[in-house]
Chain A
Amino acid sequence: MKITIETQSPDMEDEIIIRCAEADEEIMELIYLIKSRRKPLTAYADNGIVKLSPKDIYYFESVDNRVFAYCETQVYEVKQKLYELEEMYPYSDFLRISKSVIVNVSKIALLSTAFGAKLEAKLKNGEKVIISRQYVPDLKRKLGLDEGGKR
């Protein structure tokens, strides 16, 4: 894919033009990636409401019907359910890894086997989350290891 960057005068709005024969899955992924990185998420902290950039979120966890967004050091509550977050950020780096956790795959530092034949993801902030066996095929697809599967 050829990428061309044209500079323009600072007073004009930034614009991305995609020229392609067909908007295939790769192009759609690119579009969603650009859009989702700019789509902030409203989150709630003790001291008020904040707008979170998806790229700053390490993982979402559902606890007792409440959903929390975990950033590098802070934790915020969000009003969306996990499945709504999945729908909000398709083709993004977010991936469901268990019934209660969606992880930002780009924040995974290392994967390892965990006690009890599970997988464990160590995140770049040092936290660890458990990956359920049933979601490992999705992780493989996300990382391009299962070319035959649907992405």
Chain B
Amino acid sequence: MKYISEFIKYFCYITTGIVIVSGITVLPNEMIRSATILQSVFAGAITALVTTILLTGEPKSKKDIIFRMGLHYILLCVIMVIVGFVFNWIPRSIIGVIFMVISVGIVYIFVTLTYAFTSRKEVNELNKALLKKYRNKEE
């Protein structure tokens, strides 16, 4: 259940990120075609699956988290370059690869910031409750 809910959350964030990046960079002078939206959903599903597998498990330390995120970013780049070639989002050249690596970076930052923003509210509530409970106990 935990993996399903995490998958859905990542899928929503990543697919939104891909559609936004497609809108502002891949197709600057065109309307986004319905096929592109479906392709984005497909790419979002694959990358969300990889993200869920890699990031939902329990890290042992900060180093482990950094290692997983590094590996995660590399895997996403590989997947998205392949998807980009298959769907003709990018030219089959080094420029196309660089372009996709940068695009993945933009989506990565977007998802990380969105996740951090939504977590911040939860953390603030927890800190308030922590302060209230143990201030009362100390009194």
- Say whether A associates with B: yes
Interface size on A, residues (CB 8 A): 26
| Cβ of B137 under 8 Å from chain A | yes
- Chosen A-B contacts, 28 in total, with CB atoms closer than 8 Å, are A98-B58, A100-B58, A100-B60, A106-B134, A106-B137, A111-B123, A111-B126, A111-B127, A113-B120, A113-B123, A115-B69, A116-B66, A116-B69, A117-B55, A117-B116, A119-B123, A130-B61, A130-B62, A130-B65, A132-B58, A133-B6, A133-B56, A134-B2, A139-B126, A140-B126, A143-B133, A144-B129, A145-B126
Interfacial chain B residues near A98, Cβ < 8 Å: 58
- A130, B59: Cβ atoms under 8 Å? yes
| Cβ of A112 under 8 Å from chain B | yes
- A108, B119: Cβ atoms under 8 Å? no
B115 shortest CB reach to chain A, Å: 5
B61 shortest CB reach to chain A, Å: 8
- Give the A-binding residues of B (Cβ under 8 A): 2, 6, 55-56, 58-62, 65-66, 68-69, 112, 115-116, 119-120, 122-123, 125-127, 129-130, 133-134, 137
Complexed CA–CA distance, A130 and B65 (Å): 10
Interface 1/0 per residue, A127-138 and B, CB below 8 Å: 000101110100
Interfacial chain B residues near A144, Cβ < 8 Å: 129, 133
Residue of A nearest to B72 (CB): A116
Secondary structure of the A contact surface, majority rule: mixed
- A115, B65: Cβ atoms under 8 Å? yes
B35 shortest CB reach to chain A, Å: 32
- Give the B-binding residues of A (Cβ under 8 A): 98-100, 105-106, 108, 110-119, 130, 132-134, 136, 139-140, 143-145
